[in-house]
């Protein structure tokens, strides 16, 4: 489907606060300065950044459940963003929420955290919460149970005029693909829930695998790269046809390296699965050495007629995943903006 370049000019662009900065001196105020100077319109506010900034301000360790302190700091973050003319698009990442057994301590904790995060949302002035599909041990994979939990969360958020952006995490035990997440969103059946789509999560669940020599999904069902390409093409055509644009709340963009050495198929010491480790350490911007079909995925999302928020969410630890250190956040943010513009350009002309 041809895309008119003129329709892409007004797409708003966001930068995740967790995706910039490589050393302790890269504080949240300095991150915001660099993001704003590069021309971004908003940030995804990462919860760990709130924790770190609160601890720095109060000169003591602030814990994830210290909601009074976090809300006080959140008000300061709101003022900082306003001074840079940056919107806070979303609070993220709310994890390990859905699927816990009824009356379990884990379920009670999940809803206690939800109520605390809603307080933070009020303090920072955002109206959207990002929820990633869970991979926690001991949760139900029943779609009805998962949808019921998310429906209850959506209703809690609706009391404050807030929205829920549900994202498929490609290492999730119950919803690793965009189609899984979309099915759940439909089952939740609330006006204030939609999708957070992600170029990495889409390719990482259907096309690539960090544990293989090729970097691609292998085995008898994969059928080789040509077949994988065809399967992904069909999936992206379905996305373009099935998902209405108003149910896409935003699109996160990143690529991923093929690791120099394939990752172990076993969870790490913290229990994180290999695709989760890959997500945390191997995600550059497009056009910077990754190998995922990011342009094709972006094109498919644009083919829904979505022209809403794009957001840079990268975790670029290099091809060895060991981390990259840099001094100048301004250059990093400017390069990300240039790569975003290039991505839109390439997606608009793909297959024309």
User: Three-state SS for 133?
Assistant: coil
| Residue 343 burial (10 A CB sphere; 0-12, 13-18, 19+) | buried
| Cα 287 to Cα 131: distance, rounded to the nearest angstrom | 28
Question: Measured at the alpha carbon of residue 249, what is the angle toward residues 118 and 198, in degrees to the nearest 5?
Answer: 105
Count other C-beta atoms under 10 Å from residue 134's C-beta.
23
pTM for this structure? 0.96
Closest Cα partner for 129 from 142, 140, 115? 115
Predicted local confidence at residue 351, as pLDDT: 63
240 phi and psi angles, rounded to 5 deg: -60, -35
Q: Establish whether the linkage from the previous residue to 222 is cis, with ω within 30° of 0.
A: no
Let me know: does 119 contact 138? Beta carbons within 8 Å. no
Nearest-angstrom CA–CA distance, 192 and 154: 7
d(CA 324, CA 314): 12
Cβ distance 168 to 180 under 8 Å? Answer: yes
Residue-level pLDDT at 196:
98
Q: For CA atoms 332, 341, 33, 94, give the dihedral sign.
A: negative
Q: Digits of tens for pLDDT over the chain (352 positions)?
A: 678 888 899 999 999 999 999 999 999 999 999 999 999 999 999 999 999 999 999 999 999 999 999 999 999 999 999 999 999 999 999 999 999 999 999 999 999 999 999 999 999 999 999 999 999 989 999 999 999 999 999 999 999 999 999 999 999 999 999 999 999 999 999 999 999 999 999 999 999 999 999 999 998 778 888 999 999 999 999 999 999 999 999 999 999 999 999 999 998 888 889 999 999 999 999 999 999 999 999 999 999 999 999 999 999 999 999 999 999 999 999 999 999 999 999 999 876 5
* Alpha carbon distance 325, 317 (integer Å): 9
Q: What pLDDT sits at residue 352? A: 55
Q: Name 197's bridge partners.
A: 251
Q: Are 134 and 98 in contact (CB under 8 A)?
A: yes
In 3D, which of 280, 263, 275 has the Cα closest to residue 315? 280
Are β-strands 309-312 and 248-253 bridged in parallel, bridged antiparallel, or unpaired? parallel
pLDDT of residue 222: 80
How would DSSP label each residue in 308-320?
SEEEE--EE-TTT
């Amino acid at each position: 489907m041809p895309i008119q370049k003129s329709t892409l000019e007004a797409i708003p662009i966001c930068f995740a606060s967790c995706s910039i900065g490589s050393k302790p001196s890269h504080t949240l105020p300095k991150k915001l300065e660099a993001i704003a100077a590069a021309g971004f319109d908003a940030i995804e506010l990462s919860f760990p950044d709130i924790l770190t900034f609160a601890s720095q301000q109060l000169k003591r360790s602030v814990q994830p459940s210290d909601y009074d302190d976090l809300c006080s700091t959140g008000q300061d973050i709101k003022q900082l963003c306003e001074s840079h003319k940056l919107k806070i698009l979303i609070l993220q990442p709310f994890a390990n929420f859905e699927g816990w057994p009824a009356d379990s301590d884990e379920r009670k904790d999940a809803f206690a955290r939800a109520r605390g995060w809603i307080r933070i949302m009020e303090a920072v002035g955002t109206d959207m919460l990002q929820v990633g599909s869970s991979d926690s041990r001991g949760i139900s994979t029943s779609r009805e149970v998962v949808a019921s939990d998310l429906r209850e969360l959506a209703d809690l958020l609706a009391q404050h005029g807030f929205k829920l952006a549900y994202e498929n995490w490609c290492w999730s035990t119950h919803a690793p693909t965009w189609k899984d997440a979309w099915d759940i969103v439909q089952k939740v059946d609330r006006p204030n829930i939609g999708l957070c789509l992600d170029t990495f999560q889409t390719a990482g669940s259907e096309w690539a695998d960090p544990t293989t020599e090729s970097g691609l999904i292998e085995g008898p069902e994969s059928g080789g790269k040509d077949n994988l390409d065809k399967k992904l093409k069909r999936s992206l055509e379905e996305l373009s046809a099935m998902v209405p644009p108003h149910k896409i709340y935003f699109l996160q963009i990143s690529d991923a390296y093929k690791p120099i050495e394939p990752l172990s198929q076993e969870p790490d010491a913290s229990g994180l699965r290999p695709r989760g480790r890959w997500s945390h350490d191997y995600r550059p911007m497009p056009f910077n050495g990754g190998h995922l079909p990011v342009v094709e995925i972006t094109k498919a999302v644009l083919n829904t007629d979505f022209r809403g928020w794009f957001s840079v969410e990268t975790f670029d630890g290099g091809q060895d995943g060991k981390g990259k250190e840099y001094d100048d956040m301004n250059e990093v943010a400017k390069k990300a903006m240039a790569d975003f513009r290039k991505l839109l350009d390439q997606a608009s002309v793909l297959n024309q």
